[in-house]
Amino acid sequence: MKHRIVVLGAGYAGAFAAGNLARRLSGADIEITVVNAVPDFVERMRLHQLAIGQDLTFRKLDSVFAGTGVRLRMARVTGVDPERRTVAVTGEDGDGELAYDTLLYALGSSVARHGVPGVAEYAFDVTGRSSALRLRERLAGLGEGGTVLVVGEGLTGIETATEFAESRPDLSVALAARGEPGAWLAPKARRHLRSAFDRLGITVHEHTGIEAVEPTRAIAADGTSIPADVTVWTAGFAVHPIAAASGLEVAETGQIVVDRTMRSVSHPDVYAAGDCAYAIGDNGRLLPMSCGSAGYTNMQATAAIIARLTGSEVQTTGLKYYGNHISLGRRDAIFQMVDGDVRSKSWYLGGKAAARLKSGVLKGAGWAIVHPTFGMPKRRRRLATAPDRAGARVAA
């Protein structure tokens, strides 16, 4: 019988990993199933563009995986049983169950509301396609002089605020930050960011924590009321509680605790990649939830899965950041180089050149996803051992 690999999630981590596994392992020995709740590959890094009204093309996952041997199961994951090695799903065909021999958990993350009153009821976010479309509809109905407050000074918050301000100069856009936006950047890059805010007319509320969101305003920790016809919440990410409920070992964040090869420390048949993996980088620090981490962790996970199934030595891939790309609208950006401890170097690239570089990175990531196997090779690796359905682990 074939070795069953199930990949949960077809985002940046899951889609690329599935294609890489199909490209490098023999179809005579394995079957790969990808479970995803929506039919399209969603470029999460572009969702703020979708929200402000820009037209984006979403690739159908069935066409992405056509001819690769990867099976697509359109369904929502409702549970994982790592002892029985099964995944519970629900979709248009009703409830079901998938059995696996190797599981790659890559369900990603959603918005973290931090228990702030009113966020769930009144705030919008750009962490998913449906939520971005909901925000798009609201912004389309907002007339001249409407107020938009973006909460969060991270990369998503900065990119969202600048994109909105550039695309809709008729709106009054503000950014609420617990600290200083771009505080991690080098001094020259911080000045570039501040200049972009000024040029785009963005009001920045520094050292302002938001304690409540209401229909037409947000309330700061000091009691200040900030007008907001629309509040966009970008104050962090949270993972789905499925992993914690399954009995897998998780961190306080709910992320799956993995070893250096992205293998679950509690269940060796399970690997994690992307935002749901509690992975330590080469500098000894926790990898942040980001597209970059999705790339690093999925490459390490697939390398480990392939090596163990084919009886090869597991090679470690790099888990090191080299810099941050920050879009500031369509015509401006910042590329900040960092050292091994993720401290900003003095050099940075800004302006149109950085914008072209960021655009190239996005296009490259999108191309890699929609060409998941890069053209199937003529020779693919065979498995060293057949799976033992009675419960024995494969190629430990």
Per-residue pLDDT of 340-349, as tens digits, reads 777 899 889 9
Asked whether residue 214 carries a pLDDT value surpassing 50, the answer given is: yes
How confident is the prediction for the chain on average, in pLDDT?
92
Asked whether residue 125 carries a pLDDT value surpassing 50, the answer given is: yes
Task: Specify the DSSP class assigned to residue 24.
Answer: H
Q: What confidence tier does 320 reach under pLDDT thresholds 50, 70, 90? A: confident
Which of 205, 197, 198, 201 lies closest to 176 in space, CA to CA? 205
Asked whether residue 368 carries a pLDDT value surpassing 90, the answer given is: no
Average pLDDT of span 231-254? 96
Owner of token pair 């509680």: 241
Asked whether residue 392 carries a pLDDT value surpassing 90, the answer given is: no
Whole-structure pTM value: 0.92
Measure the CA–CA gap between 53 and 164, rounded to whole angstroms: 9
Asked whether residue 378 carries a pLDDT value surpassing 70, the answer given is: no
Average pLDDT of span 219-226? 96
Query: Residue 314: how many CB atoms within 10 A of its CB?
Result: 14
Write out pLDDT tens, residues 72-113: 999 999 999 999 999 999 998 889 999 999 999 999 999 999
Query: Residue 95: how many CB atoms within 10 A of its CB?
Result: 10
Measure the CA–CA gap between 282 and 286, rounded to whole angstroms: 9
Phi-psi region of 114 (alpha: psi -120 to 50; beta: other; left: phi over 0): left
Asked whether residue 41 carries a pLDDT value surpassing 80, the answer given is: yes
**pLDDT recorded at residue 169:** 97
Sign of torsion over alpha carbons 178, 182, 186, 191 = negative
